[in-house]
């Protein structure tokens, strides 16, 4: 798997965690696949329509330990750790990105609250 693909997916992950983009219905509509669904850290399910209508949680986040795994041609699993500064909590996250209509779109996302701290997980 190319380092360019890993960097591109990381940029996409970081782009949808910024406050400016999370507030933009246009941005979310573009990055989320039409059949997107999420299992939030709250334990609730959300689909694309719900994310566009209700919005998404607006928090300051920083990503650590990003990795990608090729699941099939044009399908990538992305995993990472997030430090949520706004809510003072940490989550382990996974996303499935699919190449749809010539661009990577977020197909699935899950966040799980973890007691782990940045110092516990940062790879040297």
What CA dihedral angle connects 33, 110, 85 and 22, to 10 degrees? 10
Using one digit for the tens of pLDDT, what is the confidence trace for 12-39?
998 887 767 677 889 899 999 999 999 9
Q: Where are the chain's structural domains? A: 3-121
Positions of the chain with pLDDT under 70: 1, 19, 21, 55-58, 123-124
User: Check: CATH 1.10.760.10 for 3-121?
Assistant: no
**Structure pTM?**
0.90
Q: CB within 8 A of 99, min separation 6: which ones? A: 74, 75, 105
β-strand pairing of 32-39 with 89-100: unpaired
């Amino acid at each position: 798997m190319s380092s360019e693909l890993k960097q591109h997916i990381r940029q996409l992950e970081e782009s949808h965690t910024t406050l400016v983009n999370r507030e933009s219905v246009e941005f979310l509509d573009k990055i989320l696949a039409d059949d997107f669904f999420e299992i939030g850290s709250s334990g609730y399910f959300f689909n694309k329509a719900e994310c566009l209508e209700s919005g998404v949680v607006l928090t300051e986040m920083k990503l650590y330990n990003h990795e990608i795994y090729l699941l099939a041609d044009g399908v990538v699993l992305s995993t990472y750790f997030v430090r949520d500064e706004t809510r003072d909590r940490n989550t382990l996250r996974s996303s499935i990105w699919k190449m749809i209509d010539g661009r990577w779109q977020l197909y699935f996302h899950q966040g799980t609250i973890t007691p782990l701290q940045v110092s516990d997980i940062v790879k040297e």
